[in-house]
Amino acid sequence: MTGILEVEARAPEDRKPRIQTAERTVAVLIAVARSLDGMKAKEISDGLGLPRQVTYHLLHTLLGTGILRKNLQNRYVLGLAAAPIAEGFRRQLAPPEIVAPRVRAAVAATGETAYASGWVDGKIVVLATARGRSAVQAAEVPHGFSGFAHARATGKLLLALADPGTRDAYLKPETLAPVTGHTITDSKILADKLREIAGQRYAVDEEEFSLGLCCLAVPFDGFDGQVALGISVPAERFHANFDAYLEALRRIARMADE
């Protein structure tokens, strides 16, 4: 029987199996990385819809590289060789040459103050900002700001798209402090709102972070829900132009993986 590793040894012109193997390898790594305490081979096979023999071949290879290991419960978890990837991800999560031009493009398209936020070390951090060009505009949220994600559009969006373990670790009762009278501080109401946001793939805050201001956020394509693009707008103008703002942000966010 021809196994998946044997398929890799075929002639160079046979490209499809090689690409499929790479995709499956990445899928296994992502599944293990997203798990709370590792995965069994059967869980990986069933979860990804891979044949059992293919799964074992991939896991054996990944164990050999050290990027995966087995823990004391005989579950596959990330190994020491994954550390440079994790560190590189944190370092390269949103370098200015990728994110900042899209933030400036959002200002050009909408005239409004724009910013990008992303996950860094378990916090939702403002990664880039650009001031709007309208006569009446929102103040910039400082670069590096990481508070009150439950009250910010980008924060709610990134929480909604996060895996449950990451979201639950962030959303402890003491983090749901009121910022304005509109801030959602009830965990059940917030959970319902996050489910709605995950389905529609955009989030708003309506004076939840700053009175008189509303924000809109969409996810950057190509970042697996880890980075969001947002604008902050005076409330009256926000509601009058919402559809145009949403269309512009979605278009610009799709540029992220071009």
Does 93-257 match 4-86 at the fold level? Answer: no
Give the model's pLDDT for residue 5.
34
Domain 4-86 is in which class? mainly alpha
Model confidence pLDDT, tens digit, residues 117-141: 998 888 899 998 999 987 555 566 7
Measured distance CA(190)–CA(9) in Å, rounded: 52
For 74, other C-beta atoms within 10 Å of its C-beta total: 9
Measured distance CA(236)–CA(219) in Å, rounded: 24
**Low-confidence winner among 40-54, 122-136, 181-195 (lowest mean pLDDT):** 122-136
> In this model, does residue 169 exceed pLDDT 90?
no
Give the model's pLDDT for residue 138.
59
> Distances in Å between the alpha carbon of 71 and those of 22, 38, 40, 75, 174?
25, 8, 11, 6, 33
CATH 3.30.450.40 given to domain 93-257: yes
Model confidence pLDDT, tens digit, residues 198-239: 999 999 999 999 999 999 999 998 888 899 999 999 999 999
Helix, strand or coil, per DSSP, at residue 162? coil
Higher-confidence residue: 12 or 233?
Answer: 233
Please identify which residue in the block is written with the tokens 């003491």. Answer: 174
Range 147-156 average pLDDT: 94
Q: CA dihedral defined by 195, 46, 27, 69, rounded to 10 degrees?
A: 110
Higher-confidence residue: 46 or 86?
Answer: 46
Instruction: Judge if pTM exceeds 0.75.
Output: no
> In this model, does residue 167 exceed pLDDT 50?
yes
Model confidence pLDDT, tens digit, residues 228-244: 999 999 999 999 999 99
Beta partners for residue 129, in sequence order:
115
Range 101-122 average pLDDT: 92
Measured distance CA(108)–CA(133) in Å, rounded: 8
Q: Which sequence spans correspond to the domains of the chain?
A: 4-86, 93-257
Give the model's pLDDT for residue 15.
45
